[in-house]
Amino acid sequence: MNAPLPSRPDASDDWLDDVLRADGREHRADYLDDDGFTARVMSALPAPAALPAWRKPALAALWAGAGIGIALALPATFGDVAHEIVRVILGQRMSLAGVGASLLVLGASAWAAAAMALKNN
């Protein structure tokens, strides 16, 4: 049978942590002059790679084409899925407020997805 694990000691029991914290408090306000080294390194870094402008519209067209291709390749399956979705939705009793709330949530989701897909990086 496994022996129980020893209980974890408190942070105050660890002498090394205490020494490191005290040393950090002592030297926290000290400034290390790097004689502009950091600025030189940052200016020497290459600019971040930018994605081509045509990438997002091409991806959107590719996904739309894939969706339409699947719908055309499997018309019976697509029709059956659409019929079942409509049957499930129409089989539920919903108030006008419920329909409005559902449309509002779907609209907000579609808007958020479009905003995320089209935002500039």
Query: 35 lies in which domain range?
Result: 11-44
**pTM higher than 0.75:** no
| Domain assignment present for 34 | yes
Number of domains present in the structure of the chain:
2
| Whole-number Cα distances in Å, 22 to 31, 32, 77, 115 | 17, 19, 69, 49
Phi-psi category of 75—alpha, beta or left, where left has phi over 0 and alpha has psi -120 to 50? alpha
pLDDT of residue 44: 94
Give the residue among 24, 42, 45, 46 at the shortest CA–CA distance from 34.
42
Q: How far apart are CA 75 and CA 69, in angstroms?
A: 10
Do 106 and 75 share a structural domain? yes
pLDDT of residue 92: 75
Do 59 and 106 share a structural domain? yes
Is 52 within 8 Å of 46 (Cβ atoms)? Answer: no
- pLDDT tens-digit profile of 80-97? 888 888 888 788 777 888
Do 61 and 101 share a structural domain? yes
- Which residues in the chain show pLDDT less than 70? 1-13, 120-121
